[in-house]
């Protein structure tokens, strides 16, 4: 993957209009033309995914659902732990990204991984509650993110674990102990990312803290490919469903 691949991705990120009558159609319109080149570019853009996966235990015989899991790139972050789980679901609305995930699953002969084309705000696994739910850079792309978090809570077993890694901006006056971003950060990044229907929010982090017992939380800033000098805030959150 080189400059030509990056240019294609940048065209989709910055220029190609996103069309569609509903959210699912808009996701597919955005991702269809960039599915093949997705993983290479996002490896440089979406930081902290391996770190999040390292923070979460894979319970022996347990189930894990990655909501908005796209190409299944996060499957590589499980390492040996993948074999301990009885089932891993990669759920996404984008058919094109799930096709890449299917190829990955077939190439690695993973028998305990399944793709699900569905909406993270409504899907419930037929097999009952799951042990772990993750969102990696998907919460900012789900317009009804309240519904996505509530649905994640509904699909988790008591004491089940949620892991989230994503872009965000702080509130103007965040709770003590949380990072405070200045006006340029709080204004620039939401405006920039909105072009691609990505909505870094000041409310995701407070809402996760409100709804779950916090096991781990960290805040960082990452470089964005081809955007010199600026740093985009992102966070890692691990929480437990209250019983
Ligand atoms: C930035 S991508 C991240 C993909 C993957 N988690 C990763 O880390 O590479 C966001 C993903 O969320 C998916 N998505 C957005 N809204 C969704 C929804 N309501 N239900 C399921 N997936 C959704 C998109 O199709 C896309 O694959």
68 C-beta closer than 6 A to ligand 1: yes
What is the rounded average pLDDT of the residues 48-61? 96
Does the pLDDT value for residue 32 go beyond 80? no
Average pLDDT over the chain reads 91
pLDDT of residue 76: 92
Residue 142: what pLDDT?
A: 97
pLDDT, mean of residues 75-100? 94
Q: Is there an atom of ligand 1 within 6 Å of 137 CB? A: yes
Q: pLDDT band for position 34 (50/70/90)?
A: low
CA distances from 3 to 7, 41, 173 (A): 6, 10, 41
Q: Which of 93, 122, 163, 234 to probe ligand 1 with, by most ligand atoms within 8 A of CB?
A: 93
The residue whose CA has the least distance to atom 16 of ligand 1 is: 142
Per-residue burial over 65-76, b = 16 or more CB atoms within 10 Å of its CB, e = otherwise: bbbbbbbbbbbe
| Residue pLDDT, tens place only, 165-210 | 999 999 999 998 999 999 999 999 999 999 888 999 999 999 999 9
Q: How far is the CA of 176 from the centre of ligand 1 (A)?
A: 31
Give yes or no for residue 28 CB within 6 A of ligand 1: no
pTM of the full structure? 0.90
Measure the CA dihedral 191/177/165/22, to 10°. Answer: -40
Ramachandran angles phi, psi of 205, nearest 5°:
-65, -50
Strands, DSSP E only, in 77-142? 87-92, 113-117, 130-136
Cα separation, 220 vs 242, whole angstroms: 27
Q: How far does CA 6 lie from the centroid of its chain? A: 21
Q: Which of 73-82, 131-140, 207-216 has the lowest mean pLDDT?
A: 73-82
Could you tell which of 24, 27, 150 is best to mutate to test the pocket of ligand 1, judged by most ligand atoms within 8 Å of the CB? Answer: 27
Q: What is the pLDDT of residue 8?
A: 67
Q: When comparing pLDDT for 225 and 219, which is higher?
A: 219
Q: What is the SS3 assignment for 16? A: coil
**Ligand 1 centre from 167 Cα, in Å?**
13
Q: Take atom 10 of ligand 1 and give the residue whose Cα is closest.
A: 138
**Res. 29: pLDDT tops 90:** no
* DSSP conformational letter for 112: S
Give the residue, by CA position, lying nearest to ligand 1 atom 13. Answer: 68
For range 48-68, the mean pLDDT: 96
> What's the confidence (pLDDT) of residue 13?
64
Would you state the pLDDT for residue 211?
97
Ligand 1 center to 99 CA (angstroms): 14
Terminal-to-terminal C-alpha distance of the chain: 47
């Amino acid at each position: 993957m080189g400059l030509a691949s990056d240019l294609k991705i940048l065209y989709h990120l910055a220029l190609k209009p996103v069309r569609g009558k509903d959210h699912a159609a808009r996701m597919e319109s955005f991702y269809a033309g960039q599915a093949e080149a997705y993983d290479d570019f996002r490896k440089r853009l979406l930081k902290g995914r391996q770190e999040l996966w390292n923070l979460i235990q894979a319970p022996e015989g347990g189930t894990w659902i990655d909501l908005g899991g796209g190409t299944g790139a996060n499957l590589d972050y499980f390492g040996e732990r993948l074999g301990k789980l009885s089932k891993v679901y990669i759920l996404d609305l984008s058919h094109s990204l799930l096709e890449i995930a299917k190829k990955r699953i077939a190439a690695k002969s993973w028998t305990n991984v399944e793709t699900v084309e569905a909406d993270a705000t409504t899907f419930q696994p037929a097999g009952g509650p799951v042990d772990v739910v993750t969102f990696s850079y998907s919460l900012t792309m789900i317009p009804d993110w309240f519904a996505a978090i509530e649905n994640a809570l509904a699909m988790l077993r008591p004491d089940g674990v949620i892991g989230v890694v994503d872009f965000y901006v702080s509130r103007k006056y965040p709770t003590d102990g949380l990072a405070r971003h200045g006006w340029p950060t709080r204004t620039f990044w939401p405006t920039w990312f909105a072009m691609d229907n990505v909505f870094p929010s000041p409310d995701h982090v407070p809402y996760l803290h409100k709804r779950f017992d916090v096991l781990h939380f960290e805040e960082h800033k990452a470089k964005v490919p081809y955007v010199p000098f600026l740093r985009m805030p992102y966070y890692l959150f691990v929480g437990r469903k209250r019983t």
